[in-house]
Structures are given as C-alpha cells and as structure tokens.
Amino acid sequence: MSRQIIKDDLRFLLFSEIYSRFDEPKTKRKAFALLEAAIQCFDRKGFEGTTLNMIAREAGISRPLLNHYFKGMQEIRETSIKYIRVLFQKIAVDAMSKSERPDEMLKQYIEACFFWAENFKTHRHVWLRFLSSCGKSKSDRLLNTRSVNAGSERLAQLLSKGQSTGVFTCSDHWQAARLIQLTVLGALTAYATENSSSNVDLSSSVIRQCMIIAGADLKFSQSTPR
C-alpha cells in the first residue's frame, strides 16, 4: 500500500490542535519536539520506566526547562496518547476522503489502519502499552472509551450512508461499527505481536470480514474498478 507519510509540518499542526499551553509557534515547536522525545522514551522504557530526566536528556534540554512546556509526567503522557490518536485519525480520515463509495471508503479505512501500524511503529508500540494500562487505570480507560466512541460514530455514519445507497445491508449501524473496530483492533494486535513478514494478506482478510459485517455484496465490491 503506497501512501505518503505525514510530513513533520502537518504532524506539528495536529499536535497544535491538542496543545494549548502556549500560542507562540516557536515555543509550540519546541514542545512538539519534547513530545516526540517522550514517545521515544515510552517506547523503550514504558510509561512506568520513563522519567522526566530521561525525556529531557532525549530532547537535549535541561530537566528544569522541561517544566516550562509541560506541567509534569502525567500531562506529557496524556498529550502523547492524544497526539498518537489524532495522527492515526488523520491518516484514516484522509484515506477515506479519497473515495465516494461507502464500501471503498471502508476498505481505505482498514488499509490506512495497517499503513499506520507499519509506518509508525514507535506510535504503535506506545499505543499498545496504553491499551494495556487501560485495564488498571480508570482515567486511561475513560480516555480510550472516548476515542473508541468517536471512531464508532464515524463508522456508523459511513454504514448508514452505505445502507441508504444500497451498498451495505446491516441495520444496526452502531453494533456493526463496534464489530468492525474490534475486528481491526484484533488484527492489528496480531500483526504487532506475532511474526509476520507482510500485512497484505492479513489486511485483505480483515477487509473481507468487515465487508461481511457491513452487509456488502462481496462480488460487486471486489469487481468494482479501483
């Protein structure tokens, strides 16, 4: 799957949407670099094993200066998770916007999920750590639930559009959206934690399964010119 990696400037703009402590671009740019350094540390050491000193050292600044940009580890951690999620959503939404047919949009969404998993490995690793922590942390679970619900709503709207145009036949759009999310998440987890040389076969299988959940005509969807 060939997609253009989101450039640094656009990633910075996405970061700016969730970082509101300072408005001055130069200061925000430094905070963005600090957050990227924190994500690298979370990938290597985990959330519990990462310290503020580690992040400061990774970013090449003094430990006291770090407090100028972020209040503490909790804010850095939460902002990192939000940033990873916003970047993932941007990739998925941009992929879906390239098509008009609902079944093609669903296919593009699933392919974008695998594209993210393959091309943003550090983010993928940190996101898996975050999901693991949701079992113990109520605040993490709440944050994840909000993100999942937002994604469910987007998929449910797509399924509703597909039903109204005769592309999908599922009637419970919310339930189908959740099943699609769970199918994709399970596949991404398998891809990230099992030996695999390529995600192409797995992605194709997931697309087929999700089309079945949506109630698509598989023969028509597969024969539609791309």
Instruction: Please say if the pLDDT value at position 8 is more than 80.
Output: no
Which pLDDT does position 5 carry in this prediction? Answer: 58
C-beta separation of 180 from 213 below 8 A: yes
The average pLDDT across 133-156 equals 93
Residues 6+ apart with CB under 8 A from 61: 34
Instruction: Please say if the pLDDT value at position 198 is more than 80.
Output: no
Which pLDDT does position 1 carry in this prediction? Answer: 42
The distance between the two most distant Cα atoms of the chain, rounded to a whole number of Å, is: 61
- Nearest Cα neighbor of 140 from 81, 196, 199 is 81
Distance of CA 149 to the CA centre of its chain: 13
CATH class belonging to 8-223: mainly alpha
Q: Which single residue is written with the structure tokens 């949009």?
A: 105
The share of the chain scoring above pLDDT 90, in percent, equals 78
What is the band of 60 on the pLDDT scale with cuts at 50, 70, 90? very high
Instruction: Please say if the pLDDT value at position 131 is more than 90.
Output: yes
CA dihedral of 180, 173, 83, 97, whole degrees rounded to 10? 90
The average pLDDT across 48-57 equals 96
Instruction: Please say if the pLDDT value at position 7 is more than 70.
Output: no
Rounded to two decimals, the pTM is: 0.87
- The helix (H) or strand (E) run that includes residue 203 is helix 200-214
Helix axes 25-49 and 52-59, enclosed angle (nearest 10):
130
